[in-house]
Chain A
Amino acid sequence: MHSALRIIKEGLTGNKGWKPAWRKPDPRTQYDVIIIGGGGHGLATAYYLAKEHGITNIAVLEKGWLGGGNIGRNTTIIRSNYLLPGNQPFYELSMKLWEGLEQDFNYNAMISQRGVLNLFHSDGQRDAFVRRGNAMRLSGADAQILDAAAIRDICPYLDYDNARFPIKGGIRQPRGGTVRHDAVAWGYARAADRRGVDIIENCEVTGFIMENGHCLGVETTRGTIRAAKTAACVAGSSSKVMAMAGQRLPIESHVLQAFVSEGLKPIIPGVITFGAGHFYVSQSDKGGLVFGGDIDGYNSYAQRGNLPVLHDVCEGGMAIMPMIGRARVLRMWGGIMDMSMDGSPFIDKTQTDGLFFNGGWCYGGFKATPASGFCYAHLIATGRPHEVAQNYRLDRFLGGAAIDEKGQGAQPNLH
């Protein structure tokens, strides 16, 4: 049990009593459920399968180190400021799960609800944000439209006087914010482990065991593992893994870069997003400015990007907040995104019985982690989609039911 008391006791006795956050078991040959992917979504799925559905005979298979995918390399933002009815209730469920998560899994993930602000710079953008804000309110989320004067009160240092695209206002979700991303993976892992889930690191899936159209388990670098239900949860590598099951996906892999500055005393409240360029920023608990922009735009499985985006992002930053000119970029990195054809994810069964798929999160998977796990667990346990995730079907394009928040069509690098 984690508590302040425990910390004091350990502190007084030399911190010798801490136990592993999760066990490191060898894989068994048979489970009820195999989850491929020990990232945030996979671990959350295991946790909710155990907690909500009583299924604990689960193996989570991770090819590298736990939490080493996008849960470990994102910009930590949570928000539910979505427009479309196919998305908004799902992300609002996720927000509600975030709000109780730390007490739920007894791990402090430093959930910081200090607001997410998206600036607008034209009447047309304002109209679109008003529509979005009203949609958020209709599904029970919080949203405010602020004018430039109100934004000046929150962020006096934005460029109100000489911006190429003047700041006319913004849409703000006060409950939005940031979370310590690694802690989410560790918290879910620890809590799932406590409920009996086997988390198996350094175990790469090399193939599926298929018989008569049924998936009966997987081959791995640590042997054959069988289960009645196998659930892929490997955003970033979805196409590679599902190709082993003979499935082509409506997904491209793209690299998204992110950046962090040296640690600075607090100056940026919540998350701020530029509406006329590619730049968003928040400040971490350690003081680093965590920021990013657009994806590089070409298919990539390399976890690194190139200079044009670095420059584009910094230009966006200086365009709206030129007071960051002497802050320095400390580190830049890239993560591989499952960019789907409409910018929205998939949580669905597949053409193969016993094989489930969760992916296509684009650059927005982190905020979805709790709801993704919750809804995926629901689907795996009951065979039916959770009502807020029922639109995330793999075959939705066949019927014309795209969930296209940005209105860019089947061009993944524009979402």
Chain B
Amino acid sequence: MTQSERIAGGLINRSQKLTFTWNGTSLSGFEGDTLASALLANGQHLVGRSFKYHRPRGIFSAGSEEPNALVTLGSGAAQEPNTRATMVELADQITAQSQNHRGPLGWDLMTVNDLLSSFIGAGFYYKTFMWPRSFWEKVYEPVIRASAGLGSLSGIADDSSYDHGFLHCDLLIIGAGPAGLMAALTAARAGLQVIVADEDFLPGGRLNAEMYQIDAMPGAAWAAEQVAELAQMDNVRLMSRTTVYGAFDHGIYGALEVAQPGSDSTKPRQIVWRIYTKRTILASGATERSMIFANNDRPGIMQAGAVRSYVNRYGVGPGRHVAVLTNNDDGLRTAEDLRAKGITVTAVLDARKGEAVKNTFGRRRVSGIILQDDTSLAVDCLAVSGGWSPNVHLSSHQRGRPVWDGDIAGFIPGADQSPGMVVCGAAKGVFGLAAVLESGARVAGDIATDLGCHAKIDLPDTSNEAVGTAPIFDLAASKGRAWVDLQNDVTTKDIAIAQAEGFTAAEHMKRYTTLGMATDQGKTANVLGLAVMANLQNQTIAETGTTIFRPPYTPVSIGALAGRARGQNFRPKRLTPSHQWARENGADFVEVGTWIRPQWYKRPGEKGWRDSVDREVRMTRASVGICDVTTLGKIDIQGRNAAEFLNRIYANPFLKVPVGKVRYGLMLREDGVAYDDGTTARLSETHFIMTTTTANAVTVFRNLEFARQCLWPDLDVHLNSVTDAWAQFAVAGPNARALLSKVVDDLDLSNAAFPFMACTDCTVFGGTLARLFRISFSGELAYEVAVPSRYGNAMMAALIKVGHDFDAVPYGTEALSVMRIEKGHAAGNELNGQTTAHMLSMGAMVSQKKDAIGTRLSQRPEMIRDDDLRLMGFRPVDGGDTLIAGAHFLTQGADASMANDQGWMSSVAYSPSLGHAVGLGFLKRGADRIGETIVAHSPVRGGDILVEVCSPHHIDPKGERQRG
């Protein structure tokens, strides 16, 4: 197909022809086209269907306010729905499809909705579909949902790359139209660090679309000259294809930069920038409105300014017989520009003189208009200018309220703007080119002066064109439907229904009719809607009020906002010091918070994970096993008052821990609930090493710093997190001592010399710095040995090598967990933030002779009830049964109801040591119920079984092994 509607002139590169596909047909355009201008060049006016009535929709605008021309680009992983054709920079080989129709675009079966419009006006769905009740779910809702949305996602992962970046500047200028360029020149010449961002691929704004003269040259050429100057300056970053989408606190702005289509595919498709700026100039221009008359929604009915854009910038004739309808002087210029290109202007209708369009006709494209005297004119395009609404959006992201300005018939920024932001040019309601340029220069000059620079106001020679917008919005004298919101199909009749039902507040009208809730957020519709409501209410638009603009200014892709944080890069990974060794030795890894830990080590011949875990437990309990426990938090605590400090942190006493000893510590939250536990070793009078659980390592350290800096600054104590500084290994099992005797230099490890809960600095393997703690999580004779992290991998290898004579095994988190459940130690499933010391049978540990975090509130009556839950052990009555963590306990014979709930199973494991499953859990009055058979009830997983209540210490209840 040829570009039949191409006319002379424009800012396109006719030597660079581009081929694209529209609904399966191959078409061509030129470099410098948008998809919309290229479609118009090929005579394609019908480009989509409206949301509700599936009315034919054509290109309405030439910018980001486009409500109609939404298309789907690409397919598969690259499928991009709801894309405004007016903002798609044409590139070779792109494919685009129309949306929201069943069957071909020209014969959409869903247009039946249009015939039913009298019955499906605003809010109709709130009033029906309720009977019979079962029909909603089975009939009505599926039908409604099936008609939802415009374009489709493909359901395939978007594999494009996105990135984030941070920029800092003195002055951010939003918009590179005449006001923005003038502001940028003024500020940049004064020496400010300036960022200019503009959503278009060609800077210049309306200068590219109008026939203005500046300094005796065409406005577009003047803009290009200024852009060239700015591009040369080191203190300016000119960002085209970049939309500032939101204004946030303290001068932080979000911006989306899209790559030039067809450019280097190794670069990110889109970049989200966070721009930190001292000051901001909002020079975002204004958006032209339509007017209200019957059937004002047909393809070919366009903004007058858009008509000028297509004619002047893109060299495209949007029609061959064009009528112009206006309430301001722009309409007249439209006629001039059209005539200058040889396009027939059928009529110029000036609403200020009482002229109007009464109705239109033409199914897939407007083919004629009916005037007030019922004469009809054949036209294939109607250019409408209903006045301009300043683009105040970003000025109200910080809750600034726009105010109505009757002089320009539009909302302008109110007094309560974002701190640091000033608005200029058309965005402030300043019209007329000379005034706009001056406005930009003045605000930039003031900011430069404020920031200590000298600015010179140097204005080019131009003039002010007349604007003269009259507040005429509604010409709908006829009975036909007249559209207010083109995408969401809100007509004046819908607003009348909303008004009749009392939905008259701006927010109620919006929500009831869906006015302004479409993808364009009502950029061209809102003021018309308010005008209609104001008229119905016999009040002014100022009295009617407005809804508030919220970010983003235009929609931003979720992929871009996520940036690189996806897939395996969603969050950072922390690797244990012996990760390399583990990988080389058959470890299967698991995510533990941000850590990656071995969960078991698979050996040849083992069929499932249970084989590996059972073996690791058996071999550890039979001889010796080794586990990297570096992930436990380690906090180095030093100072004259270190013991006093710990005594205020832990619920149990810590003042009198002897040097060379480790003590188990229970930490409460201030509300008295058990928070964290671990062992803390005293290496000297003034030096302790605390361990925390893996999960709470960060927050415990945070809380200790709070206590140190804020609660008790008078204590002499200093803290350092050394979790990553030391690699730590548990060496557990009857042969642990024998193994370590070959590792530790010159240290008597006999029970007498280095008993349970002893600790010391030492060296290993002939001089390597180390720390040794005799502590046990498994219940076995056990030690933990720590070396500087850089030796961690070698240490693991060396321990296994030395342990060869004892059949030493590495074990992972699963075996660790099995052994702690066998032993009856509480861990994460028990310490879930809802557990009291009382429930853990540790109530007596909470010293009442001192004040520590949580001491006082742990004594509240509901937290120390005798009939409350207790941590107990459980085993299946039938030894072959599997236990289910999360099962609730019921007394045998009791109904399954919450009233009969007796507690729950928190942790379970198969115990290879005992040959049956073992569990831990919380049971009401548990301590009194040892030996009782109860029901473990789990309808959601595994069903019900009988279990016997027992001590939580399934193995070695007297602790003889760990002390041996």
Q: A131-B904, A165-B591 are in contact. List 18 more A-B contacts (CB 8 A).
A: A67-B508, A107-B126, A130-B884, A131-B905, A134-B887, A134-B940, A137-B896, A159-B157, A164-B570, A182-B511, A263-B51, A264-B82, A265-B150, A265-B151, A326-B559, A330-B555, A332-B552, A407-B832
Nearest-neighbour CB distance to chain B for A335, whole angstroms, equals: 12
Complex Cα spacing A264 to B156, Å: 15
Could you tell me if B157 and A330 are in contact, using CB atoms closer than 8 angstroms?
A: no
Task: Give the docked Cα–Cα distance between A162 and B590 (Å).
Answer: 14
Hey, what's the 0/1 contact readout for A312-335 against B, CB within 8 Å counting as 1?
001101110011111111111100
B442 to chain A, nearest CB (A): 30
Partner of B399, one of A8, A121, A303, A310: A303
Which residues of chain B in 890-906 are interfacial with respect to chain A, using CB atoms and an 8 Å cutoff? 896-898, 900-901, 904-906
Bound-complex Cα distance A144 to B941 (A): 8
- Counting CB contacts under 8 A, is B556 at the interface? yes
Question: Which candidate, A43-51, A281-289, A363-371, is the interface stretch facing chain B?
Answer: A281-289
Chain B residues whose CB sits within 8 angstroms of the CB of A322 once the complex forms:
157-159, 559, 566-567
Q: Does the CB pair B130–A102 fall under 8 Å?
A: yes
CA distance A163 to B569 in the complex (A): 9
Question: What B residues does A264 contact at CB under 8 A?
Answer: 81-82, 148-153
Given the interface contacts A131-B886, A163-B570, A265-B148, does A18 sit within 8 Å of B501 by beta carbon? yes
- Taken together as a complex, chains A and B put the C-alpha atoms of A374 and B393 apart, in Å, by 41
Given contacts A113-B137, A326-B158, contact A133 B152 (CB under 8 A): no
Binding site for A on B (CB under 8 A): 51, 78-82, 118-119, 121, 124-131, 133, 136-137, 141, 144-146, 148-160, 162, 164, 246, 248-249, 252, 254, 272, 274, 397-399, 493, 496-497, 500-503, 505, 507-508, 511-512, 514, 517-519, 521, 550-552, 555-559, 561-563, 565-571, 573, 590-592, 669-673, 675, 828-829, 832-834, 857, 860-863, 884-888, 896-898, 900-901, 904-907, 937-941
A131 touches B591 (CB 8 A): no
Q: Pull 12 A–B residue pairs with CB atoms less than 8 Å apart, ordered by A.
A: A12-B118, A65-B505, A72-B507, A108-B129, A164-B568, A277-B570, A285-B145, A287-B148, A324-B158, A333-B550, A399-B862, A410-B670
Contact indicator B591/A330 (Cβ below 8 Å): no
A126 to chain B: which residues have CB within 8 Å? 885-886
Given A3-B128, A263-B148, A326:B155 Cβ within 8 A: no
Interface core residue of A4, A143, A187, A303 (most chain B CB under 10 Å): A4
Instruction: Give the contacting residue for A307; candidates B254, B398, B863, B888; CB below 8 A.
Output: B254
Closest residue of chain B to A112, judged by CB?
B141
Nearest 4 CB-CB pairs, A to B?
A: A407-B833, A287-B149, A325-B158, A130-B886
Interface-centre pick from B148, B272, B496, B592 (highest chain A CB count, 10 A): B148
- Cβ of A166 within 8 Å of any chain B Cβ, yes or no, is yes
A111 within 8 A of B: yes
Q: Distance (Å) between the CB of A151 and the closest chain B CB? A: 15
Pair A145/B861 contact, Cβ less than 8 Å: no
Residues of A within 8 A of B829 (CB): 124, 127-128
Query: Which residue from chain A places its CB closest to the CB of B900 in the assembled complex?
Result: A138
Interface: A89 (CB within 8 A): yes
Question: Once bound together, how far apart are the Cα atoms of A135 and B156, in whole Å?
Answer: 37
Residue of A nearest to B148 (CB): A287
Q: Are A134 and B567 in contact (CB under 8 A)?
A: no
Provide the residues of chain A in CB contact with B670, threshold 8 Å. Answer: 409-410
Are A85 and B558 within 8 A (Cβ)? Answer: no
Q: Are A131 and B555 in contact (CB under 8 A)?
A: no
A133 CA to B511 CA, complexed, in Å: 36
A219 within 8 A of B: no
Closest to A92 in B: B898
B397 CB to nearest chain A CB (Å): 7
Pairwise interchain contact B860-A266, C-beta atoms closer than 8 A = no
A400 to B157, CA, bound (A): 48
B155 lies within 8 A of A157 (CB): yes
Given A7-B119, A263-B518, A323-B153, is A138 in contact with B888 using a C-beta cutoff of 8 Å?
yes
Instruction: Say whether, besides A265-B151, A331-B521, A129 and B128 are in contact (CB < 8 Å).
Output: no
CA distance A304 to B828 in the complex (A): 36
Give the residues in chain A near B162, CB-CB below 8 Å. Answer: 325
Q: Quick one: given A15-B497, A21-B503, A318-B565, are A262 and B832 in contact (CB under 8 Å)?
A: no
* Most B-side CB within 10 Å, residue of A157, A284, A331: A331
Report chain B residues within 8 Å CB of A325: 157-158, 160, 162, 557-559, 562
CA distance A82 to B897 in the complex (A): 15
Contacts of A163 in B (CB 8 A): 567, 570
Tell whether A314 pairs with B562 under 8 Å between CB atoms, given A264-B82, A399-B861.
yes
Task: Determine whether the beta carbon of B155 is less than 8 Å from that of A156.
Answer: yes
Contact A131 B885 (CB under 8 A): yes
Q: How far is the CA of A356 from the CA of B44 in the complex (A)?
A: 64
A351 within 8 A of B: no
A139 touching B897 by the CB < 8 A rule?
yes
A68 lies within 8 A of B507 (CB): yes
A103 in the interface, Cβ–Cβ < 8 Å?
Answer: yes
Which A residues are in CB contact (< 8 Å) with B832? 128, 407
A237 within 8 Å of B by Cβ? no
A191 to B685, CA, bound (A): 73
Q: When the two chains form the complex, which single residue of B81, B119, B130, B518 contacts A326, counting CB atoms closer than 8 Å?
A: B81
**A324 close to B150 (CB less than 8 A):** no
Contact residue among B399, B558, B884 (Cβ-Cβ distance under 8 Å from A304) = B399
Q: Contact: B937 with A134, CB < 8 Å?
A: yes
Q: How far is the CA of A185 from the CA of B84 in the complex (A)?
A: 34
Closest chain-B Cβ to A42's Cβ sits at a distance in Å of: 17
Point out the residues of chain B lying under 8 angstroms from A19, CB to CB: 500-501
Q: Which residues of A contact B518 (CB under 8 A)?
A: 263
A110-159, CB < 8 A from B: 110-113, 121-122, 124, 126-135, 137-140, 143-145, 156-157, 159
Q: A159-B157, A311-B562, A314-B558 are in contact. Are A164 and B567 (CB under 8 A)?
A: yes
Taking CB atoms, residues of chain A closer than 8 Å to B591 are: 121-122, 164-166
Residues of B within 8 A of A164 (CB): 567-571, 573, 591
Are B565 and A315 closer than 8 Å at their CB atoms?
yes
Contact check, B501 vs A409: say whether CB atoms are below 8 A apart.
no
A159 to B158, CA, bound (A): 11
Which of A206-230 touch B at CB < 8 Å? none
**Which residues of B lie under 8 Å from residue A22 when comparing CB positions?**
502
Given A319-B565, A323-B153, A326-B80, verify A20-B502 contact (CB < 8 Å): yes
Answer whether A410 and B501 are a contact pair too, CB < 8 Å, given A267-B152, A277-B570.
no
Minimum CB distance partner of B886 in chain A: A130
Q: Is the CB of A307 within 8 A of B82?
A: no
Q: Which residues of A contact B941 (CB under 8 A)?
A: 130, 133, 145
- Chain B residues closer than 8 Å to A166, beta-carbon distance: 591
A11, A187, A266, A408: the one within 8 Å of B833 (CB): A408
CA distance A407 to B559 in the complex (A): 33
Is the Cβ of B149 less than 8 Å from the Cβ of A329?
Answer: no
Q: Does A261 have its Cβ within 8 Å of any Cβ on chain B?
A: yes
Q: Which residues of B contact A112 (CB under 8 A)?
A: 137, 141
Report whether B493 and A15 are in contact in the complex, using a CB–CB cutoff of 8 Å.
yes
Say yes or no for A6: interface residue by CB 8 A criterion: yes
Q: Is the CB of A24 within 8 A of B130?
A: no
Known: A284-B148, A303-B399, A323-B156. A144 touches B940 (CB 8 A): yes
